[in-house]
Amino acid sequence: MRILAISGSLRQGSHNTSLLRAAEELLSPLDTLELWEGMREVPPYDQDDEVEPAPPAVAAFRAAVASADAVLIATPEYNSSIPGALKNALDWASRPIATNVFRNKPVAVIGTSSGMFGAVWAQAELRKVLAAMGARVAEVEVAVGRAQDKLDEEGNLLDDGVRAELRDALATLSSETVPALAAA
Ligand SMILES: Cc1cc2nc3c(=O)[nH]c(=O)nc-3n(C[C@H](O)[C@H](O)[C@H](O)COP(=O)(O)O)c2cc1C
């Protein structure tokens, strides 16, 4: 399984990016995880710019999603919702809606925040957006509260409970890719 990992945070020391790195360490040898690094370059969505060729950063994002077997998104919560840069990238990727690269793509949403609740509202909104785009949203639950206690300064995961949740989430995501690959 080739996983494209997307962090909703641009921050250098992002806990959400660290959570994705922790997930990468749990993969079986046959699986790979590539972290998408292009979110900062995606321009603000403008329907007037929806012409071919797409802006290079948008085209690269769409290609990365299209070539992945599954997508794993870790999102922080900003004001009880999805970070704007992440939503902006997804709005670009959602076009054209009927054939967008997320349609039928297995996607798992996880997240962490410095507060108690682990970005649950942002995750719920993100799942809603992905479902609207036609993604195959996996039923996984990884909401890591108090990120600063669960990840150290270097981004290492300190919590075995979270590690077990990540392992379960990856197994569920993998099971979602099987019908997707069979249908391809
Ligand atoms: C603009 C902004 C809004 C935030 N709003 C929330 C919020 O509504 N709920 C929450 O739990 N944390 C909120 N936070 C805290 C973030 O969840 C926390 O900073 C998190 O660690 C950011 O993720 P990162 O480490 O991956 O960058 C907010 C942070 C920022 C910068």
Task: State pTM to two decimals.
Answer: 0.96
pLDDT tens readout for residues 64-122:
999 999 999 999 999 999 999 999 999 999 999 999 999 999 999 999 999 999 999 99
Q: Which residues form ligand 1's pocket by a CB distance below 6 Å?
A: 9, 11, 14-16, 76-80, 113-115, 117, 119, 147
pLDDT of amino acid 181: 58
Closest ligand 1 atom to 116 CA: 11
pLDDT tens readout for residues 134-163:
999 999 999 999 999 999 999 999 999 999
Question: Element (H or E) spanning 107, and its range?
Answer: strand 106-112
Closest-CA residue, ligand 1 atom 11, reads 115
Q: How far is the CA of 39 from the centre of ligand 1 (A)?
A: 18
pLDDT at 184 over 90: no
Closest-CA residue, ligand 1 atom 6, reads 78
For the chain, helix, strand, coil in percent to 5 are 45, 15, 40
